[in-house]
Amino acid sequence: MTLQNNRPSGSAAQWDDVEIGDAVHLHRGGRLEHAGLVDNRTPDGDVVWVLSDGGHRQLFHVADGFELSVADPEGAGHAGD
């Protein structure tokens, strides 16, 4: 997992450092596939729900093969869903 904004990096097996309201990017294979705001997450950090700009809410599990990173609020770009 890659975290920005001076947050400590967490376990690669969990996304427990993201918080509700964080702008995030989800990459797979080096390609940005999804972006949005964390709408909710499980306490163990295994699952996050991300709300895209278009209002689409999607669930992501840590085992889905995505790298999740907190987006830079100054230059956050969004992937098309």
Strand 31-41 versus strand 23-28 pairing type = antiparallel
Distance CA 12, CA 55 (A): 28
Write down the architecture of domain 1-73 according to CATH. Roll (2.30)
What are the residue ranges spanned by the domains of the chain? 1-73
Residue 63 — φ and ψ, nearest 5°?
Answer: -80, 0
> Does pTM top 0.85 for this prediction?
no
pLDDT in tens, 13-59: 479 889 999 999 999 999 999 999 999 999 999 999 999 988 999 99
